[in-house]
Chain A
Amino acid sequence: MTADDLEGLLRDLAPQALAAVVRQHGHFDAAEDAVQEALLAAATQWRARGVPERPRGWLIRVASRRLTDQLRRESASRRREEVLAARAPAEAPADAAPGEDDTLTLLLLCCHPSLTPASQVALTLRAVGGLTTAEVARAYLVPEATMAQRISRAKQRIRATGADVDRPAEADRVDRLAAALHVLYLVFNEGYTATSGPDLHRPDLTREAIRLTRTVHRLLPDDGEVAGLLALMLLTDARRPARTRPDGGLVPLAEQDRGLWDRAAIDEGLALVAHTLATARIGPYQVQAAIAAVHTEAARAEDTDWPQVAALYRLLDDLAPGPMVTLNRAVAMAMAEGPEAGLALLTPLDADARTARHHRLHAVRAHLHEMAGDLAAAADGYRTAARLTTSLPEQRYLRERAARLPGG
C-alpha cells in the first residue's frame, strides 16, 4: 500500500471510528482527540507492519483505550472513579457495524448551527476529514495554537448543546445538510482560489472538499443539491490547470487554454448535472453547476452560449439572490445582449453597502466599459478595483488589465 493509499484509507475511516467511539463513550471532545491519536499511531504502525485485518475495529479499539485512560486520569484527579465504572469500555463492534452513514451524521454534527462558519470548517476538516490541527492551520495560514483553540472551543460548544451522534435532529436535517454543503463549498473555494507561490505547501483543500462531497453524494444519491455541488466542484476544478500562469498570474476564463482542462472531471461533472437536472428539485448549486457546464461545453470562448448563461443567472438570482449573482448576471447579459444591458444591471449595486466599495463591482463595470469601447472609463475602473481588492494575484491581474488600455 502506498503512502497516499494509506492516508486515504485513514481519512475515510476517521469519521467512522469517531462516531463509533462517541456512541460508545460519549465525550465528543475527548473522543475526537483520542481518534486523532489513534490515527497517528495507525499511520506509523500500519506503514511498518501492514494494515490490520479489521482496520476500523483497530482504530476504534485504540481510540477507546486512549479515551478511557484519559477519562480515568481526569476522574481520578477529581475522585470520581464511580462515574467511570458505569461506563466500562465495551468490546469494539465488528467492521460490519454501520459505518459509512456515520460520516454524514458526524458531518452534520460538526456543522452544528451553534458554531460560526469558520469553526464549522475547522472542526469538519479535523473530525470528518481526518486532517491534523497543524494541517488545518497551514491551510488557513493561521498559527497552530490559534487553530487548536478554534477546534477545541467548537468541540466544547457541541458538547454543551447536548447534541450527539445518536440523536440527529430529523426536524432540522434539511437546514443542517444545507449548512454542511455550505461548509464543503467554503473549503473548496479556499483551496480553489489559492495560487502557487508562498502557499505551495498548503494541504489540498480542493481535493479534500471533493472527496467529502463525493462521500455525501454516495450516501444521499438522490439529493439534487449534493449532486449539484459535486458537479460544480468537478467542473470548476477541471479548469485549474488553465487558470494560473506558471508565475502565479491569473488567467481569465475567456483567455484560458481549454486544451488544458481536465476532461475526465468535466465528463463526470456533466453526467452529474444532466442526471440531477432531469430528476431532482432544482436548487442553487445545481444552477451554478449548469452554468459551469455551459462554459465547459464551449470549445472556444467565443462559442459560449451566453443567452443560456444569462438565463441561468436569472434563475439563480431568483433562487438565491445576492449582489455577487447580479454581478455575474451582468457579465452574461453584456455578452448576450451588449454592454449597455449589463451596465444597467450594475446601477443598483452602487447603492448596496455590500458592493459599493467591493472591487468586483468596479472590475466588472470596467470590463463592460471596455466592451463598449469607453477605454478611459475602463482603465479608471480597473485601477479603482486594483486598489480595493485584498488579493495580491487579483491586484496584479487588474493592474495588467488597466495597463493594456491606452492611457492605462
Chain B
Amino acid sequence: MKYLIQIYANPVNWEHPLFLKDPEFQALPEEERAQLIRQDEALVDEIRASGELLVGCALADPVTATTIRGRDGVVTSTDGPFPESKEQLAGYFVVDCETAERAVEIALRFPDARLSSTAIEVRPIMGVSGQEM
C-alpha cells in the first residue's frame, strides 16, 4: 500500500533540511542534536534499502510557488502558495509499506516530527485495484 507523507513546516528561513535551523532544535543539547541527525540519515538509508521509499523531495520556498485558480470560467495564475496558513508544504515522501502503521512509524521518526513548527500528514494513495463485493 502506498502512502504520501507530507511535511508541513513554518520555518524561520527556508533552508533544507529545515529542522536543522529550527530554534527548538538548536536549543537542544549537542548530543541530542547529533542523535537526531543520525536518526534522520539512518531512517532514509533504511527505507531506501528496504525498497519502501519510492520518492522523496524537498520543496523550494513557497515564495517561488505559482497558484492557478478558476473562477467564473476564468483561469488565473498568481504568485505565491495556495494555503494561507503559516505552515507550508516543505517536502514529501512516497512510501510503499506493508501496513498503515508502518507508514506512520516512518513519519514519526523524521526529526521534524518533534518540532512544534511542523506537522506531518500521512495519507493513503488510492489504487486502481478493487475487490469483488
- A interface with B by C-beta (< 8 Å): 116-119, 122, 140-143, 146-147, 149-150, 153, 190, 193-195, 197-199, 239, 243, 250, 252-253, 360, 363, 390-395, 397
* B42 at the binding interface (Cβ < 8 Å): no
* Shortest Cβ gap from A360 to chain B (Å): 8
A392 touches B48 (CB 8 A): no
B51 touches A153 (CB 8 A): yes
* Shortest Cβ gap from B89 to chain A (Å): 21
* Shortest Cβ gap from A363 to chain B (Å): 7
A252 touches B133 (CB 8 A): yes
Q: How far is the CA of A164 from the CA of B122 in the complex (A)?
A: 40
Q: How far is the CA of A391 from the CA of B130 in the complex (A)?
A: 6
B49 touches A391 (CB 8 A): no
Give which listed residue, B50, B128, B133, contacts A363 with CB less than 8 A. Answer: B133
In the complex, which residues of chain B have a beta carbon less than 8 angstroms from the beta carbon of A243?
132
Write the B98-133 contact mask toward A (1 if CB under 8 angstroms, else 0).
Answer: 100000000000000000000000001111111111
Give which listed residue, A122, A190, A394, contacts B130 with CB less than 8 A. Answer: A394
In the complex, which residues of chain A have a beta carbon less than 8 angstroms from the beta carbon of B131?
193, 360, 391, 394
B54 touches A153 (CB 8 A): no
In the complex, which residues of chain A have a beta carbon less than 8 angstroms from the beta carbon of B96?
118, 140, 142, 146
Give which listed residue, B2, B49, B125, B129, contacts A190 with CB less than 8 A. Answer: B129
Q: How far is the CA of A194 from the CA of B127 in the complex (A)?
A: 9
Q: How far is the CA of A363 from the CA of B98 in the complex (A)?
A: 23
In the complex, which residues of chain A have a beta carbon less than 8 angstroms from the beta carbon of B36?
none
* Shortest Cβ gap from A245 to chain B (Å): 12
* B53 at the binding interface (Cβ < 8 Å): yes
Given contacts A117-B98, A142-B96, A394-B133, contact A199 B128 (CB under 8 A): yes
10 residue pairs from A and B, CB less than 8 Å apart = A142-B51, A146-B96, A149-B51, A199-B129, A360-B131, A390-B1, A390-B124, A390-B125, A393-B130, A397-B133
A253 touches B51 (CB 8 A): no
Q: Chain B, interface size: which category?
A: 20 to 34
A390 touches B54 (CB 8 A): no
B130 touches A252 (CB 8 A): no
B51 touches A150 (CB 8 A): yes
B128 touches A195 (CB 8 A): yes
* Shortest Cβ gap from A367 to chain B (Å): 8
| Interface SS of chain A | helix
A252 touches B132 (CB 8 A): yes
- B interface with A by C-beta (< 8 Å): 1-2, 48-51, 53-54, 96, 98, 124-133
B132 touches A253 (CB 8 A): yes
Q: How far is the CA of A118 from the CA of B102 in the complex (A)?
A: 13
A391 touches B129 (CB 8 A): yes
Given contacts A117-B98, A142-B54, contact A149 B130 (CB under 8 A): no
A153 touches B49 (CB 8 A): yes
Q: How far is the CA of A18 from the CA of B124 in the complex (A)?
A: 38
A239 touches B132 (CB 8 A): yes
In the complex, which residues of chain B have a beta carbon less than 8 angstroms from the beta carbon of A116?
50, 98
A391 touches B133 (CB 8 A): no
A194 touches B132 (CB 8 A): no
Q: How far is the CA of A147 from the CA of B126 in the complex (A)?
A: 20
In the complex, which residues of chain A have a beta carbon less than 8 angstroms from the beta carbon of B54?
142-143, 146
Q: How far is the CA of A86 from the CA of B50 in the complex (A)?
A: 34
Using CB atoms, name the residue of chain B closest to A357. Answer: B100
In the complex, which residues of chain A have a beta carbon less than 8 angstroms from the beta carbon of B98?
116-118
* Shortest Cβ gap from B23 to chain A (Å): 36
Q: How far is the CA of A255 from the CA of B130 in the complex (A)?
A: 16
* Shortest Cβ gap from B50 to chain A (Å): 7
Give the top 7 A-B pairs by smallest Cβ distance, nearest first.
A150-B51, A393-B130, A193-B129, A390-B124, A394-B130, A149-B51, A391-B130
Given contacts A142-B96, A146-B96, A150-B50, contact A250 B129 (CB under 8 A): no
In the complex, which residues of chain B have a beta carbon less than 8 angstroms from the beta carbon of A141?
2
Q: How far is the CA of A360 from the CA of B48 in the complex (A)?
A: 32
In the complex, which residues of chain B have a beta carbon less than 8 angstroms from the beta carbon of A147?
51
